Amino acid sequence: MTTATLSFYRVQKNLQSKINSIDVPIVNWKAVCSVGFFVSLALLVFYVWQINDLTQGSYVISGYDRQITQLTEEKKNLEISFAENSFMGQALTKIQALNFQKAISVKYINILDNSAKVTQKNKDI
């Protein structure tokens, strides 16, 4: 067991000497933290700007929806007034002035064939 431990120790020492010989650039952590802070601050400002723009867009859309409903109601009123002022509207006012009533039930009069022939002969004379 000691032989394995000694050989492992030798391998570890060789690796450590190789790692120490590699030049690792020194990182300026103060600069990295400063850059990270400014990037997060810029992202926060961008987020607030986007939310503001989105909110303004939703208010504009709701305003347009209100205008659309108002214009459709106005259109319906104009169609009604046009119908009243057109021929059909004038006809309806004349019908009401003459006191016509809606037919509720229809009754037919049976005419015999003989009477139709008699009236036809009378017209020929």
What's the CA gap between 99 and 114, in Å, rounded?
A: 37
What's the CA gap between 13 and 16, in Å, rounded?
A: 5
The count of C-alpha atoms lying within 13 angstroms of the C-alpha of 86, restricted to the half-sphere facing its C-beta, is: 7
The residue ranking higher by pLDDT, 16 or 123, is 16
What's the CA gap between 89 and 96, in Å, rounded?
A: 11
End-to-end CA, the chain: 148
pTM for this entry: 0.43
For 18-59, the pLDDT digits (tens) are 776 666 667 888 999 999 999 999 999 999 999 999 999 999
Q: Which helix (H) or strand (E) holds 27?
A: none
For 62-91, the pLDDT digits (tens) are 999 999 999 999 999 998 888 777 777 778
